[in-house]
């Protein structure tokens, strides 16, 4: 199973074009230097796991990719578009890049179905019937079609996070970003979310995942990135990364977390 997956991943990673390119990117919060000279290239269909201690800038990095945070220096090119202050580009990028948050961030005043159809109807200009159909397809994929008419507050954390994943997928994005998707969940629920993410990975979606779930990283990642204090300290394939880490800092981190 693992071996087959890895081969499929290698094939997809090798064959496809660059979809995200980050060159010498720097970001400051006030005078605090969060991200330092980040260089990163992501190919279409590639799955990248970002890990590191808290405060290392990993969340900030992926939030820069869909322009939730502004970077101050360097370039971020997503799907051929250079991120900057141009508003029109921003809207385009955001419809192409889906994001799943640690705290789900579902809209509590709308039913699950409304949460899912909102984006397609308002930004993809889909008809309501089509949007509902798409939404139900994705709800089935995350295995909770029966919850469509409930409100987020009535669902468990794991279910909410799966809805959040479905909500992003309804926009038919080219890239999916995950910002610690399982950190706010009970252990029992982590698995159901990870299963959905593994299935998503099998479909060839480009994914960047910030997570501490190392087992998950080993299963799906093409590349694992370790960040510390705003630097990308180490970047390598999962086998290499876990079995033979190079940097002292990585070794220390892995010894604490595994």
Partner 1 sequence: MAIITATKTPDRAAPLGERSVIGWIHKNLFSSWFNAILTLLTGYLVFITVTGVFNWGFTDATFVAENRRACYDNSLTGACWAGVIDWLDNIFYGRYPRDQIWRINVGAVLLVLWMAPLWMGRVKGKVLVGTGVVVFYPFLAGYLFSGGDKGLFMQVMVSGAIVALIANTANMLTGVLWGEFLPDFVLRVLGKSTAPDKTQRNILLALLFVVFTAVFVWQLSWTVEFVSWTKWGGLFLTMVISGIGIASSLPGGILLALGRRSKLTVVRVLCVAFIEVFRSVPLITVLFMATTMFPLFMPEGFVLNKLVQVIIAVILFNACYMAETVRAGLQAIPKGQYEAAHTIGLGYWRTTGLIIMPQALKHMIPNIVGSFIGLLKDTTLVSIIGLFDILGMLRSISKDMPWLGLHKEPLIFGAFLFFVLCFSMSKYSRHLEVKLSAGDQH
* Nearer CB in complex with partner 1: 196/214: 196
Whether the CB-CB separation of 232 and 225 falls below 8 Å is answered with: yes
Answer yes or no whether residue 123 interacts with partner 1 by CB under 8 A: yes
Answer yes or no whether residue 136 interacts with partner 1 by CB under 8 A: no
* Nearer CB in complex with partner 1: 166/214: 166
Answer yes or no whether residue 30 interacts with partner 1 by CB under 8 A: no
* Nearer CB in complex with partner 1: 6/172: 172
Answer yes or no whether residue 171 interacts with partner 1 by CB under 8 A: yes
* Nearer CB in complex with partner 1: 38/164: 164
Footprint of partner 1 on residues 204-243 (CB under 8 A)?
none
- From residue 66 to residue 95, the character string flagging contacts with partner 1 as x (rule: CB under 8 A) and all else as - is x-x------------------x---x--xx
Nearest residue to 95 (alpha-carbon basis) of 27, 176, 161, 24? 176
Whether the CB-CB separation of 149 and 112 falls below 8 Å is answered with: yes
* Nearer CB in complex with partner 1: 160/219: 160
Interface with partner 1: number of residues (CB under 8 A): 31
* Nearer CB in complex with partner 1: 6/156: 156
Answer yes or no whether residue 103 interacts with partner 1 by CB under 8 A: yes
How many angstroms separate the CA atoms of 157 and 162, rounded? 9
Answer yes or no whether residue 59 interacts with partner 1 by CB under 8 A: no
Q: Which of 57, 119, 157, 230 binds partner 1 (CB under 8 A)?
A: 119
Q: Which of 27, 43, 58, 167 binds partner 1 (CB under 8 A)?
A: 167
Answer yes or no whether residue 168 interacts with partner 1 by CB under 8 A: yes
Residues that bind partner 1 (CB under 8 A): 66, 68, 87, 91, 94-95, 97-99, 101, 103, 105-109, 111, 118-119, 122-124, 150-154, 164, 167-168, 171
């Amino acid at each position: 199973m693992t071996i087959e997956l890895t081969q499929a991943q290698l094939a997809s990673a090798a064959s496809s074009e660059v979809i995200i390119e980050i060159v010498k990117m720097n970001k400051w919060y006030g005078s605090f230097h969060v991200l330092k000279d980040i260089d990163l290239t992501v190919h279409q269909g590639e799955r990248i796991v970002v890990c590191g201690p808290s405060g290392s800038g990993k969340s900030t990095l992926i939030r820069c990719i869909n322009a939730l945070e502004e970077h101050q220096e360097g370039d971020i090119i997503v799907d051929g578009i250079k991120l900057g202050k141009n508003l029109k580009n921003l809207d385009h990028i955001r419809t192409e890049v889906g994001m799943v948050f640690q705290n789900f961030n579902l809209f509590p005043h709308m039913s699950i179905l409304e949460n899912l159809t909102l984006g397609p109807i308002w930004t993809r200009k889909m008809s309501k019937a089509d949007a509902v159909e798409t939404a139900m397809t994705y709800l089935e994929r995350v295995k909770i079609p029966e919850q469509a008419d409930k409100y987020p507050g009535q669902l468990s954390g794991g279910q909410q996070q799966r809805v959040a994943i479905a909500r992003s997928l309804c926009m038919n994005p080219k890239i999916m970003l995950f910002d610690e998707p399982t950190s706010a969940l009970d252990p029992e629920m982590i698995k159901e979310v990870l299963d959905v993410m593994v299935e998503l990975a099998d479909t060839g979606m480009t994914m960047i995942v910030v997570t501490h779930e190392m087992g998950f990283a080993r299963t799906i990642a093409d590349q694992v990135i370790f960040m510390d204090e705003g630097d990308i300290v180490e970047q390598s394939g999962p086998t290499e990364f876990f079995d033979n880490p190079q940097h002292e800092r990585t070794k220390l981190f892995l010894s604490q977390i595994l």
